[in-house]
Structure 1
Amino acid sequence: MSKPPMVIPPERVDELTKQIALDDPNSIIRFGQEAQGRATAAADAMLGAVRNEATGEAGDALSGLLATLRGFDVTKLDQKQGFMARLFNRAGAETAAILQRYEGVRGQVEAIGDRLETHRTKLMEDVERLERLYDATLTWFHALAEHIAAGEAVIERADKETIPAAEWEAEVGRDPLAPQRLRDLRAAREDLDRRVHDLRLTRQIAMQALPSIRLIQENDKALAAKIHSVLANTVPLWRTQLAQSLAIQRMREAGAAVRAATDLTNELLTANAEGLRRANAEARTEVERGVVDLESVQKANAALVATIEDSLRIAQEGRERRVAATKALGEAEADIRRALIAARPAGAPAGTAIRPSSGVSGRG
């Protein structure tokens, strides 16, 4: 069952921000690694769930059971040409043959039924394990969200406080190392921004894992319910139909040809009705399968929206980098101009600037 969204506690964000030091590159590299490491554990658990062969074996056993039941169809005996003639000549032999076949088929049905019950138990156990995996993945998702929020808080603080303060110190010029510290600070800020972006990608992976787990759960539950339905309804119904067919066979042995023909007609009508019911169920099942296509469209739409959002974000980041580069180039050009203006030869009086040489003597 789905859980309400978790609100990230501010104290948790404050705790995580303390792990980040812009003057320590290793702290940025290590930030969020533990939360990302849970991806491997979740992926291994997911692989263990999907590698479970219970689903495939259960489907094979279910198909085998249905094939066995269909292979022993008493109603088809009535469709053979000349059955009425054989009915009166060796009706007792027909009944004995049917009972003999029934004993052999019953053993097969019971064995397959036991296998199906075992598979159903395994499937329900898988459903419980997948529920635990879902909870673990959800915890992983929230941990990533906490780290992302902490990283964004540090980036915001750097943009509004730390970097502007370092820029002021560099512009004042009292400390010759201030420009280098400013550059290192900006580089650390960009490294942290990329680290937070990686965490966002990992969180997206966790978000995609959640519906995948639910889909596997739904399939397991649906197959387990189908097995239960077959064991509770199909097999008893098959035995009931067989008992009815044998009763009709014995009644024919003692009855008249008209009564036997009437029973045959009723049996054929019943078989046709059952065939219509099965055909209608199969047709309705195929019609309802359109829901899966809708889900695929929704997933594709979500992927397209995510792609557009990524494109917009990348473009915004490019614009921000270009603005920063333009500003840095302007500052570099201003520094060069100031250096040229301040340059003078040795012994020249203060305040006398050197005219830049143009390569012309000046006489003309």
Structure 2
Amino acid sequence: MEEIKLDFGNEVQASPAKIKDEPGGVSLASLTTEEQKLVLEFVDKIDITDSNSIVTYGSGAQTKLAKFADDTLANVKTKDSGEAGKLLTDLVVTIKNFDATGESKGFLGNLFGKAKTEIDRLIARYSDVEVNIDKISNMLQAHRHTMLKDIVMYDEMYKTNLVYFKELTMYIVAGKEKIKEMNEKVLPALRERVAQSGDEAEAQKLNDLANAVNRFEKKVYDLQLSRQISLQMGPQIRLIQNNDAQLADKIQSSIVNSIPLWKNQMVLSLGLANAKAALEAQTKVTDMTNDLLKKNSEILKAGTLGVAKESERGIVSIETIKKVNQDLIETISGVLDIQRKGKEERLAAESELASIESELKQTLISIRQ
């Protein structure tokens, strides 16, 4: 005999969360009215006397659950969330290793360095780091996109698991109802007939039926174990989904917060570098202006004082007049002395000439005699 399958119907499948355990385990009371009706109709189709029916009871739901568990495991195994974590770590290390404040002295410590060279070096360092950050960011975006798709997939997996959970629950409830019927009605009635008739065939039938019920109880218990697995898979799926969601949020936060903050740091650093360059240029202009003002002031002072001093002097100074007067007196005195001496010499000469002339005449006269 083929496996008897339980048909839920669309309305029942749409509300799997309605199934819940009672203190004593799953029971008919734990189902909705619609589900109770389906289960009770299904109980009448269960044939305990058919060994194949007992073996295959609920096996379809178990098989689907087993395949579902394998698919879930395979999906988790192929995920590489560690790679996303490594990328986030690489991003943090790359940003921290970028030193916008300079290499040794620090950005402000180099205030009086060559601003243009410093800005070029800063831009070069930024460009190198930016390439790595953009590469890491793109890879993180790809991981985040995959995780977002996985989050949607996990929602579907969770819903599917709920359907399997409900299906197993209803098989278990139907099985328990059948076992209850057999233990409370069928077996007692058969025992009573055997006791009354003493028929060995009836006794064997009773024994076979009791064994069949026992095997069916084990099958239902086996379904309960499968149901427990399905019950555990629900929170497991949510945990994995939550991990992906948190990591996706972390990636998004890094992309929209950490990277822009780092770029803002670059803007501030370049702004400070440009301000430093402008300050240095302004300082040079100010120093040159002050030097020119000082030199002009010294020239103006020297010129003004010279002009004032010169303007206060007479055309001929008293010292010059005194010297000229002294020279004039000395000149006049000298001329007078020279004239006097000349006159004396001339008078002496005239006397000498007269004497010579007299001597000459006497000599000549002497000769004539």
Do both share a fold (TM > 0.5)?
Answer: yes
Query: Corresponding residue for 1:147?
Result: 171
Give the secondary-structure state (helix, strand or coil) at the position aligned to 2:18: coil
Which one of 85, 105, 111 corresponds to residue 135 of structure 2? 111
Partner of 2:53: 27
Show CA shifts across 1:99-125 (max 9, x none): 111111112211211111111110000
Instruction: Note closer, same or farther for the CA distance 1:244–1:4 as it changes in structure 2 (3 Å cut).
Output: same
Instruction: Give yes or no for contact 2:100–2:107 (8 Å, CA) kept in 1.
Output: no
Partner of 2:253: 229
| Segment of structure 1 superposing worse, 97-106 or 204-213 | 97-106
Q: Does the CA-based 8 Å contact 2:161-2:230 persist in structure 1?
A: yes
CA RMSD of aligned residues (A): 2.2
What does 1:301-312 correspond to in 2, within 5 Å? none
For 1:5, give the aligned amino acid.
K
Matched residues in 1 for 2:194 and 2:88: separation?
77
- Are positions 1:126 and 2:142 aligned together? no
Return the alpha-carbon distance in structure 1 between the equivalents of residues 107 and 147 of structure 2: 46
2-structure distance, mates of 1:19, 1:113: 60
Give 1:86 deviation, angstroms: 4.2
Aligned equivalents of 2:215, 2:17: Cα separation in 1: 33
Q: Is the 8 A contact 1:137 1:206 kept in 2?
A: yes
Among residues 213, 216, 219, which one is paired with 1:195 in the alignment?
219
State whether residues 54 and 122 of structure 1, in contact with CA within 8 Å, keep that contact through their aligned partners in structure 2.
no
Would you say the 8 A contact 2:16–2:163 is kept in 1?
Answer: no
Task: Return 126-135 or 174-183, whichever deviates more.
Answer: 174-183
Match of 1:175 in 2: 199
2:114 alignment partner, SS class:
helix
Map 1:29-108 to 2 at 5 A.
29-75=55-101, 77=102, 80-81=104-105, 86-108=110-132
**Aligned: 1:12 with 2:38:** yes
**Closer, same or farther: CA 251–237 of 1 in aligned 2, 3 Å:** same
Which whole-Å deviations, capped at 9, do the CAs of 1:71-129 have from their partners, x for residues lacking one? 10324x38x45876644233332221111111111122112111111111100000111
Match of 2:112, SS state, is helix
Matches of 2:163 and 2:79, distance apart in 1: 28
Give yes or no for contact 2:17–2:162 (8 Å, CA) kept in 1: no
Matched-pair identity in %: 33
Do the aligned partners of 1:19 and 1:31 also contact (CA within 8 Å) in 2? no
Q: 1:19 to 1:28 in 2, by over 3 A?
A: farther
How far the C-alpha of 1:19 sits from its partner, in A, is 4.2
Matches of 1:235 and 1:137 in 2, distance apart?
40
Given the superposition, is the C-alpha separation of residues 40 and 68 from structure 1 closer, same or farther in structure 2, using an over 3 Å criterion? Answer: same
CA distance in 1, matches of 2:224, 2:165: 10
TM-score by length of 1: 0.65
- In the TM superposition, what is the alpha-carbon distance from 1:252 to its structure 2 partner? 2.7
- Looking at structure 1, the residues matched to 62 and 214 of structure 2 have their Cα atoms a distance apart, in angstroms, of 20
Deviations along 1:43-71, one digit per CA (max 9) or x if unpaired, are: 12211331233422222222222211111
Superposition deviation, residue 179 in structure 1: 1.4
What secondary structure sits across from 1:74 in the alignment? coil
- Contact between 1:123 and 1:221, CA under 8 Å: does it hold in 2? yes
Residue identity matched to 2:148:
M
Aligned to 1:277: none
Q: Deviation of residue 145 (structure 1)?
A: 0.3
Aligned length: 254
Give the secondary structure class of the aligned counterpart of 1:250.
helix
Q: Pairwise mapping of residues 199-210 of structure 1 onto structure 2 (< 5 A)?
A: 199-210=223-234
User: Rg bigger for which structure?
Assistant: 2
1:144–1:96 distance in 2 versus 1, CA, 3 Å: same
Q: List per-residue Cα deviations over 1:309-333 (Å, max 9, x = no partner).
A: xxxxxxxxxxxxxxxxxxxxxxxxx
Q: CA deviation at 1:14?
A: 2.7
Alignment partners' CA distance in 1, 2:158 and 2:109: 65
Runs of at least 5 residues in structure 1 that lack an aligned partner in the other structure: 260-364
